[in-house]
Amino acid sequence: MPELPEVEVVRSGLAPAVTGATVTRVEVLEPRSLRRHEGPTEDFVERLTGARLAAPERRGKFLWIPVDGRREALVVHLGMSGQVLLRDPGVARDRLTRVVLEIDQPGHGPLRVDFVDQRIFGSMALDQLGPASDHPEQLLPSQVSHIARDPVDPHFDDELFLRRLAKRDTGIKRALLDQTLVSGIGNIYADEALWAARIHYDQPTRALSRARAATLLAEVRLVLGRALAEGGTSFDATYVNVNGASGYFSHSLNAYGQHGRPCGRCGRPIVREQFMNRGSHFCPFCQRVRLGR
């Protein structure tokens, strides 16, 4: 599933094309891609046609494009395999295209925004905007209101995160994946940050010292920063940016997907264990559970 770096790459790629653009035509090829839209397909088409789009925004893995002059936004959820592609109007569509937005960008002219989704787990929806509980001046779609800030958000509160983490009674990886505590960290980047901080994925949060928790938060930021610089992580053709290009952070992974290969620190094999219907990748020697703080 696309995580923070992949969604941010899409957001930044969309920004110059859609900011200030007017939607001239909307075509829904797969109604299931509107499952999170409250209303029929016709409502989505009518409300979006003629709308002027503002700059795209993101919180964690959630992406939305505010509609200028209205308290609503186009929320884009990539799901497992969603792609948002910018195309010239005459370019042939991908056979897995689910929703098409034709837009007119002042200074550029007509463009096409194609929502492509192989598994149809992603979606588009028009949603109402309301004040964020942690920063009332920021408006969030209702579908995103429960999502915590992510570690690369300039308003992320480190002290609040560390206090809330210390009160949790769970394993540290479960905490990192809890989008109500901290957003944008999925399985890949949790494994990478835990490896870098030398912390076992099942380390009890109550037995994690504040210093080690602060180190982990710093490593999360470093891992996310490197992934952003490298365009995200692509293992196949599913994840691409708005131009259809793949990210290459997969070449920099130290833990995720590396089971059986030597640890980059100690040389012992990286191990994969079942975890929450997915896998956790770690070094049993470098990342041991510690019960004392």
Domain 158-282 in CATH 1.10.8.50: yes
Catalytic site positions = 2-3, 61, 278
Strands 57-59 and 109-117: unpaired
Q: Which helix (H) or strand (E) holds 84?
A: strand 82-87
Give the span between the Cα atoms of 199 and 286, in whole angstroms.
Answer: 8
- Count, in order, helices (H) and strands (E) of the chain: 6, 11
Structure tokens, 136:
């009332």
Task: With cut-offs at 50, 70 and 90, classify the pLDDT of residue 278.
Answer: confident
Q: What are phi and psi of 102, to 5 degrees?
A: -95, 130
Cβ neighbours for 33, distance < 8 A, ≥ 6 positions apart:
98, 99, 115, 117, 120, 122, 123, 124
For residue 86, is pLDDT > 50? Answer: yes
DSSP code, position 199: -
Could you read off the pLDDT of 11-50 as tens digits, one per residue?
998 999 999 999 999 999 999 999 999 999 999 999 999 9
Confidence of residue 232 (pLDDT cuts 50, 70, 90): low
Nearest alpha-carbon partner for 5 in 286, 209, 256: 256
Lookup: tokens for 15:
């920004």
Q: What is the mean pLDDT of residues 275-288?
A: 94
pLDDT band at 77 (very low <50, low <70, confident <90, very high): very high
For the stretch 172-209, pLDDT in tens is: 999 999 999 999 998 999 999 999 999 999 999 999 99
The domain made up of 4-144 is a member of CATH 3.30.70.270: no
Dihedral of CA atoms 41, 47, 53, 59 in degrees, nearest 10, equals -60
- As given in the structure block, the two tokens for residue 159 are 């002290």
State the pLDDT at residue 102. Answer: 98
The domain locations on the chain are: 4-144, 158-282
- pLDDT at site 247: 43
Instruction: Give me the DSSP letters along 123-172.
Output: EEEEEEEEEETTEEEEEEEGGGTTPPPPTTSTT--HHHHHHHHHH--SBH
Give DSSP secondary structure letters for 216-279: HHHHHHHHHHHHHHTT---SSSSS--TTSPPP-GGGG-SSTT-TTSBPTTT-PBPEEEEETTEE
Helix, strand, coil percentages (3-state) for the chain, rounded to 5, are 30, 25, 45
Of 137-151, 237-251, 270-284, minimum mean pLDDT range: 237-251
Q: How many CB atoms lie within 10 A of CB 232?
A: 25
Decide: residue 246, CB within 10 A, 0-12 exposed, 13-18 middle, 19+ buried.
middle
Mean pLDDT of the chain: 91
pLDDT at 243: 56
Calpha distance 38→180 (Å, rounded): 23
Give the pLDDT confidence score for residue 248 in this predicted structure. Answer: 38
Tell me the average pLDDT across 96-116.
Answer: 95
Does the pLDDT value for residue 64 go beyond 60? yes
Contact (Cβ atoms closer than 8 angstroms) between residue 114 and residue 18: no
Q: What is the pLDDT of residue 145?
A: 93
